[in-house]
Amino acid sequence: MSSQQGPCFQVEEEVYVEPTAASPGFHSHVVGFKVPHCLMLEHPFADSGAHQIRIGDVLWIRCFRNKVLRFGVKVLHILKNPIPLLFLEYPRTVEEINLRKSERKKVFLRGTFLDLRERKPDRAWEGYILDISDSGCLMWGDFVHLVDREVLLSFRVPWTGQDVSAKARVVRCEVTEKGIRSGLKFVDLDDETRSRLKELLKSLEGKGLKAMISKPQA
């Protein structure tokens, strides 16, 4: 990860907004800016749950160009009528980030994850792992927003019957028409869990999609 001077934006440029834990992430577009004072984004209230954003909140924004840039800015103003807009601080510096420290393997593994802060029956969810690596995974399902929260991800490898339970942090959460996609980063893995993940990734070589479907851990 490296730092550099603030970016030059273009109107209609697509960005990804990562709010605090009060609201899911969402895609937006740049509608205007005034250097070095403010940046204006579309505010898709109805589709994203972004109505929970408040003035003074700090948002992380990702720009997708030849490389991925990320910067944190504060919400200055929220306009609802006649056009919903977010007015943000103009970023002075940005970070170049590597989103993939290891190769992701596409899968369709059924699993569960439990909110480790509130270990209650209504704080556990089922979903599907869409891709996985030894550093994290992408899950899809009807979840609540848990960005920055630690969860316990559990699933079973279908062709070995081996159970995997890995502690992870939710690093992003995006609302779509077909549910919520949550990006998980594994944290504090013990040697056994790390070894099982490596064995899983190795065994995925040559496996067909149907063989990757599994039931949640009992």
Provide DSSP, 159-192: TT--EEEEEEEEEEEEEETTEEEEEEEE-S--HH
Domains assigned to the chain: 2-97 (2.30.110.10), 105-212 (2.40.10.220)
Give 88's pLDDT tier (boundaries 50, 70, 90). Answer: very high
User: Which residues of the chain form beta strands (DSSP E)?
Assistant: 2-5, 14-18, 26-34, 38-42, 58-64, 68-79, 85-89, 93-97, 105-115, 124-132, 136-141, 150-156, 163-176, 179-186
105 — pLDDT class (breaks 50, 70, 90): confident
pLDDT for the residue 141: 75
Strand-pair partners of 26: 17
State mean pLDDT over 166-186: 78
**Which pLDDT band holds residue 143 (cuts at 50, 70, 90)?**
low
What is the predicted pLDDT for the residue at 40? 92
Please state the rounded mean pLDDT for residues 104-121. 77
**CA-CA distance, 76 to 54, in Å (whole number)?**
9
What's the confidence (pLDDT) of residue 2? 45
